[in-house]
């Protein structure tokens, strides 16, 4: 991939964190300020970035159009939506749909909790591979070599005291998720939130996505969370069946 394209993508990634001036963007780039300015002008010409009156650059309309089209093209999102809505209505809790993209597990849909206590997350964010329940059930379907290669490259950041600290513990959790058909995030990403997840399979039998139900611990204890498993599994089985999967 050309260096100019990579640098332009890096600029878009920096602007995803918030508006910034040319000087601010150049200060973190590995090229001269004039190169950064040239790249920004090219992105501005194509509406990938926009500059305001205070000379701050921010993400432009073309990116939002492309992201909307990308979501529309994800057939799994449209197929899953009605089932996720029913699960959200019956439980009242936050429901996520996640899929594997590149080397990341990405949230591609979300239905908010109907309770006052909510969790911070949004469509497009990546899930922590060593903490998220959706990541465990998706990785559980991977060939062993791919799973080991992917988990070997993680930095194993500790989000909470319960975060899985190393590759051995993560691989063990992934294998458990594969055996039981669902996974638990036991306050591994956020101290006051726990989560259960189950896989979605297509006609080939492979895992193409995962659905999770996230609940603040003040609302449900661990037993209460696990009590939601039957509804979650009914949801993922229904989506899988609509995608052509036939349960053994």
User: Judging by beta carbons within 10 Å of its beta carbon (0-12, 13-18, 19+), is residue 175 exposed, middle or buried?
Assistant: middle
Angstrom CA distances, 140 to 92, 150, 173, 244, stand at: 28, 12, 9, 20
Q: What is the pLDDT of residue 136?
A: 96
Q: What pLDDT score does 8 carry?
A: 87
- pLDDT(120) > 90: no
Give the model's pLDDT for residue 3: 85
Tell me what pLDDT residue 29 has: 82
pLDDT digits (tens, 9 = 90+) for 180-221: 999 999 999 999 999 999 999 988 889 999 999 999 999 999
> What pLDDT score does 116 carry?
67
Mean pLDDT in residue range 153-167: 92
- Tokens 């918030």 belong to residue: 18
Closest C-alpha to 197, from 209, 180, 183, 216: 183
Q: Is the pLDDT of residue 246 over 90?
A: no
Residue 7 pLDDT grade (very low, low, confident, very high; cuts 50, 70, 90)? confident
* 22 has a pLDDT exceeding 70: yes
Give every strand in the sheet of 193-201, ordered side by side: 126-127, 104-111, 94-101, 207-216, 193-201, 183-185
Question: Per-residue pLDDT tens for 51-109?
Answer: 998 899 999 888 877 776 665 545 788 899 999 999 999 999 999 999 988 888 999 99
Q: What is the residue-averaged pLDDT of the chain? A: 89
Residue 25 has pLDDT above 60, yes or no: yes
Percent of the residues in the chain that have a pLDDT greater than 90, as a whole number: 58
Residue among 230, 125, 217 nearest 162 (CA): 217
Supply the pLDDT for residue 180: 95
Confidence of residue 132 (pLDDT cuts 50, 70, 90): very high
Quick one: average pLDDT of 172-186?
Answer: 96
């Amino acid at each position: 991939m050309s260096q100019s394209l990579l640098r332009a993508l890096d600029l878009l990634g920096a602007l995803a964190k918030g508006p910034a001036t040319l000087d601010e963007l150049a200060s973190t780039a590995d090229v001269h300020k004039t190169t950064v300015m040239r790249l920004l002008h090219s992105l501005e010409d194509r509406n990938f970035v926009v500059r305001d009156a205070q000379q701050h650059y921010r993400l432009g309309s073309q990116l939002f159009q492309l992201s909307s089209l990308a979501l529309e093209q994800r057939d799994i999102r449209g197929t899953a939506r009605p089932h996720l809505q029913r699960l959200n209505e019956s439980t009242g809790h936050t429901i996520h749909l996640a899929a594997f993209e590149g080397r990341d597990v990405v949230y591609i849909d979300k239905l908010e909790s109907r309770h006052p206590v909510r969790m911070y997350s949004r469509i497009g964010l990546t899930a922590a591979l060593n903490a998220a329940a959706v990541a465990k059930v998706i990785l559980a379907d991977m060939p062993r070599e791919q799973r080991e290669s992917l988990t070997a490259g993680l930095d194993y950041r500790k989000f909470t005291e319960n975060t899985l600290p190393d590759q051995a513990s993560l691989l063990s959790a992934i294998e458990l998720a594969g055996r039981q058909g669902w996974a638990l995030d036991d306050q591994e990403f956020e101290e006051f939130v726990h989560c259960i997840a189950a896989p979605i399979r297509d006609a080939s039998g492979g895992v193409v996505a995962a659905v999770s139900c996230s609940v603040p611990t003040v609302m449900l204890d661990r037993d209460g969370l696990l009590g939601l498993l039957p509804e979650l599994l009914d949801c993922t089985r229904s989506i899988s069946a609509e995608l052509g999967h036939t349960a053994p």
